[in-house]
Amino acid sequence: MMEQGGRALAAFMKPREEGKIHDEPPQQVIDVVTTFGKVMEYWMRDAKRAIELQTSIGHAYLDLWANTMRRLAGETSPPIAVPDPRDRRFSDPEWSSNTYFDFLKQAYLVTSRLANHLVEDAEGLDPVTRRKADFYMKQVVNAIAPSNFVFTNPELLRLTLQSNAENLVRGMKMLAEDIEAGHGELKIRQSDNSKFEVGRNLAITPGKVVYQNELMQLIQYTPTTPTVLNTPLLIVPPWINKYYILDLNPEKSFIKYCVDNGITVFTISWVNPDEHLAQKTFADYMREGPLEALDIVLKITGAPSAHTLGYCVGGTMLSITMAYLSAVSTAERIRSATMFTAQVDFERGGDLKLFTSDETQIEAIERQMAEHGYLEGGKMAMIFNFLRSNDLVWPYIISNYLKGEQPFPFDLLYWNSDSTRMPAANHSYYLRNCYLDNNLSKGAMEIDGVTLDLKKILVPIYTVATREDHIAPAESVYIGASMFGGDVEFVCAGSGHIAGIINPPAGKKYQYWTGARPQGENVEAWIKRSTEHPGSWWPHWLEWVRHFDPTEVPARIPGTAAGYPAIEDAPGSYVKVRA
């Protein structure tokens, strides 16, 4: 174990000794200290309040101690604190049957309850500070759980004793491999990545790359029906991760669903940028992304306009593109727009706003990007993982490095680890204008000297929020949907940012709500007065798209349009470049 641990340490130190990584005190640590300081200031500035807090803390632990003593004396005593039935960390029977582990479990739960009390009942905190304190406190509480350590986790302790600590040897080996894979940073493996390959068993819907530039490849998919709708569909995926979330496998593929239902589908596959694209701006991404792609789609198909679809920040980009077109052109090249969990108002942005809420945080990110000309994809992936650390971080630390178990192959988690870089100029503009200043919703965002106004977007819009979304909260999407000038069909789906979207009809999972155009600020109130439908919203969307122009034409074969021969087979080469 020491040998493998030494290898892990060497993998961590080597890039630092070679000057490839320059560690500096992270801005986030400073922000954590500052935030907790504001919380404790409330409790400490009033002597009576401080004494009451100390008394309640003392009582909680004394009650637990007395309860444990009664159990040790053979008495039956109900627990002081019990975990949520859905909390898998304490599922091992010994957490309840063994007094030692039961005491640790209850002490942790009592501590968690007191920690939440410190944040929730601290008065006078501004909303941003309260959200930060809540998030940081959850990270601390999740990290100190007794389930995360060998000597305080009954399952880990049994395994270690039974295997003579062989599990820790395997775990240290995997830790070293994961630090090496992250080039000096820990890249936690969440899936057996050897089982997947883009183009072999992921992103396998047939098609051709029919156009490319520095920033994107444009894929046109092979039809599976003899006729197709006259109006094609252009998909604008997020550039902060790869497009094939919409084409994981044939059973889950939204792209294949569209193709099989007679739609000519094109999708942008963004490049994984390096330092040579550091100065590519947000405007460059708009021009060389959706605007250029839209031109090519209309030339290839001969259609007067196209349906468009944007996922997450791809939807934000699509909204900005439509606002730009409404200001500079009278041509109606976009027939409709669909938004998947896309924000245009960031006042109530998700947990990512915690990392981008003030100037010092943005400047810290810009300093990181200045070093190489881009933000490493792994840094962004780690932030996303810690937004759900009890699902995406600690279970894998336990299973990988303490149990020494290889994770199971899981296509979604493979995609999650297949991160992309973000060029400095583009990402800085996005963070400042969206998360920091919220300029788009204020009508203050400028692209190439053009001021953007969402109210001037008269294109019919179908927008999907997901009820449990922590990245683009349903309320944020709901408020943003009310800012467009044209007709809006708002749908709220069950589950979260990914599962609520990648929900094919055959799965018969979750539900969705339809109702009136968004008004006001309360999405839960909207849900109460809306109609609930079981299963996937995909057929509802398909019917919405079809009603604009049901005209059908002979199926279009990729690579046969004059001037746009096939460059290579889908999924293309850009998507295969790993960070």
| Catalytic site positions | 312
Residues 203 and 252: their CA atoms lie apart, in Å, by 10
- In this structure, what token pair is assigned to residue 258? 């569209």
- In this structure, what token pair is assigned to residue 463? 């927008």
Residues 375 and 233: their CA atoms lie apart, in Å, by 31
Map residue 539 onto helix, strand or coil: helix
In this structure, what DSSP letter does residue 418 have? Answer: S
DSSP string over 481-518: HTT-SS-EEEEEESS-TTTTTS--GGG--SEEEE-SPP
Distance of CA 335 to the CA centre of its chain: 29
Residues 43 and 46: their CA atoms lie apart, in Å, by 7
Other beta carbons within 10 Å of 390: 16
Residues 263 and 544: their CA atoms lie apart, in Å, by 13
What are the residues whose beta carbons fall under 8 Å from the beta carbon of 112, sequence distance 6 or more?
141
| Total residue length of the chain | 579
Angle, alpha carbons 464-467-472 (nearest 5°): 65
Are 474 and 465 within 8 A, CB to CB?
yes
Q: Tell me the Cα Rg of the chain.
A: 26
Identify any residues that bridge with 338 across adjacent strands, giving them in sequence order: 309, 462
Residues 122 and 128: their CA atoms lie apart, in Å, by 13
Q: How far is CA 145 from CA 141, 160, 565, in A?
A: 7, 19, 57
| Burial of 196 (C-beta count, 10 Å sphere; 0-12/13-18/19+) | buried
Q: How far is CA 528 from CA 255, 474, 488, 497, 524, in A?
A: 32, 14, 19, 21, 6
* Strands in 372-520 per DSSP E: 374-375, 422-423, 446-447, 450-451, 461-466, 488-493, 511-514
Residues 239 and 313: their CA atoms lie apart, in Å, by 7
Provide φ and ψ at 99, rounded to 5°.
Answer: -60, -40
CB neighbour burial string for 11-35, b if at least 16 within 10 angstroms, e if fewer: bbeebeeeeeeeeeeebeeebbeeb
Provide φ and ψ at 197, rounded to 5°.
Answer: -155, 130
Amino acid (1-letter code) at residue 151? F
Place of tokens 């290889």: 406
The H or E element containing residue 17 is helix 2-17
Amino acid (1-letter code) at residue 419? S
